[in-house]
């Protein structure tokens, strides 16, 4: 018996092969893409052989691995590899691949190929792709479905973004509560298939009302003459199509669910949520937070051409430039003071910078608390007081250190006192903003991580310069 | 038949009840914690009644929900509620709750209670808690296990942090390849239980070598006279105990796995990974990245007292202060230039700030690419060139705008030209650092998000001031 191989090694090998064939191999890429070849020393036979090897590799890849490799390839190599992938595999790959890239791959296909690629997919997968397809193809895709499936696909396409309705499967296996497990087993053997990752059947009455769930393990572990109603879970965790997908993912994590029923407000079974989609939701939510904190827009394919890169980033740069400009004008107010005591110019970024770091820490605490749903309403006062306390201690400590260093460096006790006071005040300002801004964002229904960081940075910067230069003007300007 | 309720509403109701009983109710908290009551107007009967209501609520809570509520409660209320929770439920709650809080709750229990709480847990759960328990309790806990289980627990406790060995379950259900499905069914009915979230049995030979997996659906959908070997998946995705848990989680996501076997290097079955632990890994990894980007340490309970808060944050503040100090010294080099042209002081934060924003964007792109495993080795040159291209365009664009604004504000074309050039150069520096620093961190095996952001900020700050003031010294100092 062969030693079982670690599963990560097979796709890694294929990935390596694809890369070594395509990277630094412009003649091959040109020939696959049918671009007018520049003078090339490579023989056509060799190109054909390499093309055949690539086609061989893709045939042995699972859709998810093919999607991974496509995502890792730079633009023209990605397109070249895509052209070689069999059409019946392309549908699954389009479902798996990230949305930005999905657009570009679909744009490379002709309508006939698209239809052939999507038709073998399940209804929920077709509905998921529909938003990325040309309108006339969507209507031809829908026409090909049975009326019941068409209605389901339409409902899913119209479901709110980030709602449970978008992520649910509609292929369901149901049983009645009043039959025996032996009957259920006969039914399953006739049925021959179950939806992917099924760990349970749904128990419904004649009106399709959900009355319970029957775990596959319950069928296997109990005597066949038991009734479904005796061994089912009669109080299952169920979701509504309008529930937020993020909340549902949280419930899956808390209760260690694998699948869960989706019911309408009357309790009728309409779909099924699977952990595989909930994992995607968790990953996508985290990715969005990280992306927004870094200031890049949603069209952020790592191999995007410069044009898209610039488009995904200009908004953030504009906001930052505007904030920096305001800061600059605040400093400009104090040119008089600066001209008499030029050392202030060297010291002022310290006050601004440390305030930014402190504000960011307070903000991260609150954003995490919100994300992990640990923030109780009555505790805002506690958090604010705790952050203010920490700010005072940090201000006295770090401000004190910098005050002493400044005194020593510039032989000027007043300057040391001013920088200490300014750091203390800016820490307090940063703590206030770090707590209040993300809470306000959350109250307004915005992603609290999104715009909070730039607002806090802007306020602690401007505030830091204003406080420091203001104090210096009051206490030190006469020293000139 | 009652309408099925959305599952999120039940814990939300309990949560609300606990909060309204405990918050702003110091007499109750004092009485539960047995603290010397200050003069209170509340009658003892009322306190007893409220205590009984809390005890009632906890009895109806699932462990995961109780853990959630405990995490959301400020310190003394958390302890008060913990004291009311039945001991046989506490073990599960300790497993579910976040590590920082786990420490404090365990510290509140006496050895006998801890042992009673952990004994009903499964071996892998006991091993997971062992790192948080006093040493003598761990040895008493291990003594109570059977020899085989004790060895398993020891192996798990010694497994590398963030390795598959830490997260695997050791309760396994196995079958032989040469029996029929009917035999498997009889075996399961005698067995009466299966590990949680089981979607498959593992098929092993006499030497416990893994030879395949038998999905529960395969048992149910195929005729009972088929042999296991005929319907099993003979080439399952398997993991090694030393594999990184994050890589395993990635494979679970890619292949939509629910459970997977863990084998030793000889192919012997040693454990089982479940999606519920992999979801925890994904959430914990993302949380760590976010925490590190915000500069707070691991002991970051949102309700931590000031002492812990300060401890979790001082390192980051020290690094930031050191960076700011270096920046300040760089500016100090140019005091001569600043004293002749004081408007430079107002303009210089613009150059530094926009460079920081640009560097952060480039870094976020790379960090995401690394996290999503989209970064191919041969593509670093492409990414670097793309980022440099974007930096040149952004530098000319935003630098041009600021140059014109400066010219207009200060009626000084030279100053406008200098700020434009400085912004261009700082954008280029930021792009270089934004690509190279996270890649270098990843190559060194560090979390690329962790220290990259502060390093990039330090370099773009210092670089921005140096470039701007340096150019001004060369081109403008004669204007005085």
Q: Is the pLDDT of residue B5 over 60?
A: no
Q: Shortest Cα distance from B136 to chain A (angstroms)?
A: 31
Across-strand partners of A6?
B238
Q: Is the pLDDT of residue A79 over 80?
A: yes
Q: What is the share, in percent, of chain B residues with pLDDT greater than 70?
A: 95
Q: Is the pLDDT of residue A301 over 50?
A: yes
The angle that helices A44-60 and A9-22 make with each other, rounded to 10 degrees, is: 160
What pLDDT is attached to residue B227? 95
What pLDDT is attached to residue B371? 77
Please choose, from the candidates A280, A293, A75, the residue with its C-alpha nearest in 3D space to the C-alpha of residue B365. Answer: A293
Lowest mean pLDDT across A12-16, A182-186, B197-201, B223-227: A12-16
Structural domain includes residue A168: no
Please give the average per-residue pLDDT across B246-271, as a whole number.
91
How many Cα atoms are found within 13 Å in the side-chain-facing hemisphere of B262? 23
DSSP H helices in A372-451: 380-410, 413-443
What string of DSSP letters covers B296-339? --S---TT--HHHHHHHHHHHHHHHHHHHHHHHHHHHTTHHHHH
Nearest to A316 among B74, B335, B357 (CB): B357
Chain B residues close to A347, C-beta within 8 Å: 328
Q: What is the CATH number of the domain that holds A93?
A: 1.25.60.10
Please give the average per-residue pLDDT across A355-362, as a whole number.
91
- Asked whether the beta carbons of A462 and A326 are under 8 A apart, the reply is yes
What pLDDT is attached to residue B334? 92
Domain count, chain A: 3
Instruction: Name the DSSP letter for residue A239.
Output: B
Greatest CA separation found in chain A? 99
Chain A residues close to B244, C-beta within 8 Å: none
Chain A residues close to B8, C-beta within 8 Å: 243, 247, 251
What pLDDT is attached to residue A38? 64
Q: Shortest Cα distance from A136 to chain B (angstroms)?
A: 31
Characterize the bridge pairing of strands B210-215 and B200-204. antiparallel
Give the residue from chain A lying closest to B383, CA to CA: A303
Q: Shortest Cα distance from B354 to chain A (angstroms)?
A: 6
Q: Kindly state whether residues B262 and B352 are assigned to the same domain.
A: no
Structural domain includes residue B161: no
Q: Is the pLDDT of residue B423 over 60?
A: yes
Confidence of residue A4 (pLDDT cuts 50, 70, 90): very low
The angle that helices A63-72 and A87-96 make with each other, rounded to 10 degrees, is: 70
Nearest to B198 among A217, A282, A286 (CB): A217
Cα gap B405→A324, rounded to integer Å:
13
Q: Dihedral, CA atoms, B118, B119, B121, B122, nearest 10 degrees? A: 130
More confident residue, B4 or A341: A341
Q: Kindly state whether residues A238 and A119 are assigned to the same domain.
A: no
Q: Kindly state whether residues B53 and B140 are assigned to the same domain.
A: yes
What pLDDT is attached to residue A31? 85
What pLDDT is attached to residue A209? 94
Please give the average per-residue pLDDT across A299-316, as a whole number.
79
- Asked whether the beta carbons of B430 and B362 are under 8 A apart, the reply is yes
Q: How big is the CA angle at B434 (ends A324 and A305), to the nearest 5 degrees?
A: 95
Reduced to 3 states, what is the DSSP secondary structure of residue A180?
strand
Please give the average per-residue pLDDT across A276-296, as a whole number.
84
Cβ neighbors of A215 (< 8 A, separation 6 or more) are A199, A200, A233
Q: Shortest Cα distance from B191 to chain A (angstroms)?
A: 7
Cα gap B345→A426, rounded to integer Å:
20
Q: Kindly state whether residues B344 and B202 are assigned to the same domain.
A: no
Chain B residues close to A300, C-beta within 8 Å: 365, 368
Among B96, B126, B156, give the residue marking a domain's end: B156
Structural domain includes residue B300: no
Cα gap B373→B384, rounded to integer Å:
18
Give, rounded to a whole angstrom, the gap between the first and last alpha carbons of chain A: 88
User: Is the Cβ pair B62, A368 closer than 8 Å?
Assistant: no
Nearest to B221 among A193, A371, A379 (CB): A193
Indicate the burial class of B266 (C-beta count within 10 angstroms; 0-12, 13-18, 19 or more). Answer: exposed
Confidence of residue A40 (pLDDT cuts 50, 70, 90): low
Q: Is the pLDDT of residue B301 over 90?
A: no
Confidence of residue B367 (pLDDT cuts 50, 70, 90): confident
Reported as a single tens digit per residue, the pLDDT across B89-100 is 899 999 988 888
What pLDDT is attached to residue A425? 96
The angle that helices B452-475 and A343-371 make with each other, rounded to 10 degrees, is: 150
Q: Is the pLDDT of residue B159 over 90?
A: no
Structural domain includes residue B168: no
Q: What is the CATH number of the domain that holds B395?
A: 1.10.357.20
Q: Kindly state whether residues A182 and A76 are assigned to the same domain.
A: no
User: Is the Cβ pair B216, A221 closer than 8 Å?
Assistant: no
Mutate to test the interface with A, among B365, B383, B447 (most CBs of A within 10 A): B365
Confidence of residue B411 (pLDDT cuts 50, 70, 90): very high
Q: Is the pLDDT of residue A438 over 60?
A: yes
What string of DSSP letters covers A333-387? TTHHHHHH-THHHHHHHHHHHHHHHHHHHHHHHHHHHHHTT---GGGHHHHHHHH
Q: Is the pLDDT of residue B3 over 50?
A: no
Q: Kindly state whether residues B318 and B281 are assigned to the same domain.
A: no
Q: Is the pLDDT of residue B68 over 90?
A: no
Please give the average per-residue pLDDT across B74-91, as a whole number.
89
Instruction: State the average pLDDT for chain A.
Output: 87
What pLDDT is attached to residue A442? 86
Give the Cβ contact number of residue B35 at 10 Å: 12
Q: Kindly state whether residues B433 and B470 are assigned to the same domain.
A: yes
What pLDDT is attached to residue A6? 46
- Asked whether the beta carbons of B51 and B32 are under 8 A apart, the reply is yes
Reported as a single tens digit per residue, the pLDDT across A396-427 is 999 999 999 999 999 999 999 999 999 999 99
User: Is the Cβ pair A361, B1 closer than 8 Å?
Assistant: no
Please give the average per-residue pLDDT across A334-348, as a whole number.
90
Residue B328 vs residues B214, B318, B325: alpha-carbon distances, Å: 66, 15, 5
Give the residue from chain A lying closest to B393, CA to CA: A310
Q: Kindly state whether residues A245 and A375 are assigned to the same domain.
A: no
Q: Shortest Cα distance from B10 to chain A (angstroms)?
A: 10
Cα gap A158→B265, rounded to integer Å:
50
Confidence of residue A453 (pLDDT cuts 50, 70, 90): confident
Q: Which residues constitute the domain of residue B270?
A: 174-294
User: Is the Cβ pair B19, A461 closer than 8 Å?
Assistant: no
**B273, containing H or E segment:** strand B269-274
Give the residue from chain B lying closest to A449, CA to CA: B290
The answer to whether A451 contacts chain B (CB < 8 Å) is no
Instruction: State the average pLDDT for chain B.
Output: 87
- Asked whether the beta carbons of B423 and B402 are under 8 A apart, the reply is yes
Chain B residues close to A254, C-beta within 8 Å: 62, 64-65, 68, 96
The angle that helices B245-255 and A63-72 make with each other, rounded to 10 degrees, is: 120
Nearest to A365 among B258, B300, B372 (CB): B300
The answer to whether B398 contacts chain A (CB < 8 Å) is yes
User: Is the Cβ pair A210, B4 closer than 8 Å?
Assistant: yes
Characterize the bridge pairing of strands A174-175 and A200-204. parallel
- Asked whether the beta carbons of B420 and B446 are under 8 A apart, the reply is no
Tokens describing residue B409: 């504000």
Instruction: Name the DSSP letter for residue A259.
Output: E
More confident residue, B141 or B293: B141
Residues 76-95 on A with a CB inside 8 Å of B are: none
Structural domain includes residue A166: no
Please give the average per-residue pLDDT across A172-194, as a whole number.
93
Q: Kindly state whether residues B436 and B349 are assigned to the same domain.
A: yes
Q: Kindly state whether residues B286 and B355 are assigned to the same domain.
A: no
The answer to whether A62 contacts chain B (CB < 8 Å) is yes
What pLDDT is attached to residue A450? 67
Lowest mean pLDDT across B32-41, B164-173, B242-251: B32-41
Give the residue from chain B lying closest to A212, CA to CA: B4
What pLDDT is attached to residue A347? 93
What pLDDT is attached to residue B215? 94
Chain B residues close to A261, C-beta within 8 Å: 4
Please give the average per-residue pLDDT across B269-295, as a whole number.
87
Give, rounded to a whole angstrom, the gap between the first and last alpha carbons of chain B: 89
Cα gap A244→B94, rounded to integer Å:
28
Q: What is the share, in percent, of chain A residues with pLDDT greater than 70?
A: 95
Greatest CA separation found in chain B? 98
Cβ neighbors of A232 (< 8 A, separation 6 or more) are A177, A203, A211, A212, A213, A214, A218
Q: Is the pLDDT of residue B4 over 50?
A: no
The answer to whether A262 contacts chain B (CB < 8 Å) is no
User: Is the Cβ pair B6, A338 closer than 8 Å?
Assistant: no
Q: Shortest Cα distance from A85 to chain B (angstroms)?
A: 19
The answer to whether B353 contacts chain A (CB < 8 Å) is yes
What pLDDT is attached to residue A463? 94
Q: Is the pLDDT of residue A99 over 90?
A: no
Chain A residues close to B309, C-beta within 8 Å: 386, 390
Lowest mean pLDDT across A431-435, B151-155, B384-388: B151-155
The answer to whether B290 contacts chain A (CB < 8 Å) is yes
User: Is the Cβ pair B465, A349 closer than 8 Å?
Assistant: yes
Confidence of residue A10 (pLDDT cuts 50, 70, 90): low
What pLDDT is attached to residue B292? 80
Q: What is the CATH number of the domain that holds A250?
A: 3.10.580.10
Q: How big is the CA angle at A374 (ends A369 and A375), to the nearest 5 degrees?
A: 75
User: Is the Cβ pair B255, A7 closer than 8 Å?
Assistant: yes
How far, rounded to the nearest angstrom, does the alpha carbon of residue A300 sit from its chain's CA centroid? 12
Cβ neighbors of A264 (< 8 A, separation 6 or more) are A240, A241, A270
Mutate to test the interface with B, among A236, A307, A353 (most CBs of B within 10 A): A353
Confidence of residue B47 (pLDDT cuts 50, 70, 90): confident
What pLDDT is attached to residue B152? 85
User: Is the Cβ pair A342, B339 closer than 8 Å?
Assistant: yes
Q: What is the share, in percent, of chain A residues with pLDDT greater than 90?
A: 41
Please choose, from the candidates B87, B170, B162, the residue with its C-alpha nearest in 3D space to the C-alpha of residue B123. Answer: B170
More confident residue, B292 or B420: B420
Q: Is the ipTM, as predicted for this complex, more than 0.90?
A: no
Cα gap A233→A231, rounded to integer Å:
7
What pLDDT is attached to residue A395? 95
User: Is the Cβ pair B374, A343 closer than 8 Å?
Assistant: no
Please give the average per-residue pLDDT across B416-439, as a whole number.
95
Give the residue from chain A lying closest to B204, CA to CA: A1
What pLDDT is attached to residue B2? 33
Structural domain includes residue A445: yes
Q: Is the pLDDT of residue A468 over 70?
A: yes
Reported as a single tens digit per residue, the pLDDT across B329-356 is 999 999 889 988 889 999 999 999 999 9
Reported as a single tens digit per residue, the pLDDT across A103-126 is 889 988 988 899 999 988 888 889
Structural domain includes residue A4: no
User: Is the Cβ pair B239, A4 closer than 8 Å?
Assistant: no
Instruction: Name the DSSP letter for residue A478.
Output: G
What pLDDT is attached to residue A452? 82
What pLDDT is attached to residue B300? 63
Chain A residues close to B477, C-beta within 8 Å: none
Q: Is the pLDDT of residue B46 over 50?
A: yes
User: Is the Cβ pair A364, B254 closer than 8 Å?
Assistant: no
What pLDDT is attached to residue A5? 44
Cα gap B204→B176, rounded to integer Å:
6
Q: Is the pLDDT of residue B467 over 80?
A: yes
Reported as a single tens digit per residue, the pLDDT across B206-224 is 999 999 999 999 999 999 9
Across-strand partners of A200?
A215
Q: Kindly state whether residues A278 and A333 are assigned to the same domain.
A: no
What pLDDT is attached to residue B224? 92
- Asked whether the beta carbons of A55 and A80 are under 8 A apart, the reply is no
Nearest to A338 among B4, B256, B342 (CB): B342
What pLDDT is attached to residue B9? 53
Confidence of residue B1 (pLDDT cuts 50, 70, 90): very low
- Asked whether the beta carbons of B269 and B208 are under 8 A apart, the reply is yes
Between the ranges A182-191, B3-12, B30-39, where is the mean pLDDT highest?
Answer: A182-191
Across-strand partners of B262?
B239, B271
The answer to whether B111 contacts chain A (CB < 8 Å) is no
Nearest to A364 among B291, B328, B373 (CB): B291
- Asked whether the beta carbons of B172 and B203 are under 8 A apart, the reply is no
Among B266, B294, B322, give the residue marking a domain's end: B294
- Asked whether the beta carbons of B83 and B113 are under 8 A apart, the reply is no
The answer to whether B190 contacts chain A (CB < 8 Å) is no
* Residues found in chain B: 480
Cα gap A293→B264, rounded to integer Å:
41
Give the Cβ contact number of residue B326 at 10 Å: 13
Please choose, from the candidates B227, B119, B142, the residue with its C-alpha nearest in 3D space to the C-alpha of residue B180. Answer: B227
The answer to whether B234 contacts chain A (CB < 8 Å) is no
What pLDDT is attached to residue A37? 63
Structural domain includes residue A400: yes
Residues 142-171 on A with a CB inside 8 Å of B are: none
User: Is the Cβ pair A317, B390 closer than 8 Å?
Assistant: no
Q: Kindly state whether residues B287 and B337 are assigned to the same domain.
A: no
């Amino acid at each position: 018996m062969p030693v079982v191989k670690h599963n990560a090694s097979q796709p890694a090998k294929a990935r390596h092969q694809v890369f070594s064939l395509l990277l630094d191999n412009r003649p091959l890429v040109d020939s696959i893409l049918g671009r007018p070849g520049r003078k090339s020393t490579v023989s056509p036979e060799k190109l054909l052989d390499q093309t055949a090897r690539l086609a061989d590799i893709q045939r042995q890849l699972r859709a998810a691995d093919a999607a991974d490799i496509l995502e890792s390839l730079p633009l023209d190599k990605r397109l070249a590899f895509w052209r070689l992938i069999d059409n019946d595999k392309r549908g699954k790959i389009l479902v798996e691949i990230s949305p930005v890239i999905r657009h570009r791959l679909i744009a490379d296909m002709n309508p006939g190929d698209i239809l052939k690629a999507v038709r073998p997919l399940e209804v929920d997968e077709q509905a998921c792709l529909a938003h990325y397809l040309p309108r006339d193809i969507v209507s031809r895709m829908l026409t090909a479905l049975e009326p019941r499936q068409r209605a389901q696909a339409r409902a899913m396409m119209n479901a709110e973004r980030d709602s449970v309705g978008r992520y649910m499967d509609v292929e369901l296996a149901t049983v009645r509560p009043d039959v025996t497990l032996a009957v259920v087993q006969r039914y399953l053997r006739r049925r021959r298939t179950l939806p992917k990752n099924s760990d349970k059947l749904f128990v419904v009455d004649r009106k399709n009302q959900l009355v319970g769930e029957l775990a596959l393990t319950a069928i296997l572990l109990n005597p066949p003459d038991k009734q479904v109603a005796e061994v089912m879970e009669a109080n299952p965790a169920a979701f509504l199509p309008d529930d937020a997908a993020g909340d549902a993912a949280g419930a899956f994590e808390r209760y260690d669910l694998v699948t869960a029923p989706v019911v309408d407000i009357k309790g009728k079974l309409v779909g099924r949520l699977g952990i595989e989609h909930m994992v995607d939701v968790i990953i996508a939510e985290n990715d969005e937070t990280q992306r927004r904190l870094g200031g890049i827009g949603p069209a952020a394919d790592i191999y995007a051409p410069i044009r898209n890169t610039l488009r995904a980033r200009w908004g953030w740069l504009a906001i930052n430039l505007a904030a920096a400009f305001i800061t600059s004008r605040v400093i400009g107010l104090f040119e008089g003071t600066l001209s008499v005591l030029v050392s202030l110019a060297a010291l002022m970024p310290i006050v601004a910078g440390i305030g930014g770091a402190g504000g960011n820490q307070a903000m991260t605490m609150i954003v995490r608390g919100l994300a992990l749903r640990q923030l109780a309403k009555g505790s805002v006062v506690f958090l604010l007081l705790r952050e203010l306390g920490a700010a005072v201690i940090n201000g006295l400590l770090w401000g004190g250190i910098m005050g002493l260093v400044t005194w020593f460096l510039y032989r000027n006790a007043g300057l040391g006192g001013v920088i200490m006071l300014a750091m203390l005040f800016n820490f307090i300002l940063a703590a206030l903003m770090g707590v209040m801004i993300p809470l306000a964002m959350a109250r307004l229904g915005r992603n609290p991580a999104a715009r909070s960081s730039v607002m806090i940075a802007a306020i602690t910067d401007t505030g830091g310069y204003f406080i420091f230069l203001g104090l210096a003007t009051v206490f030190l300007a006469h020293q000139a």
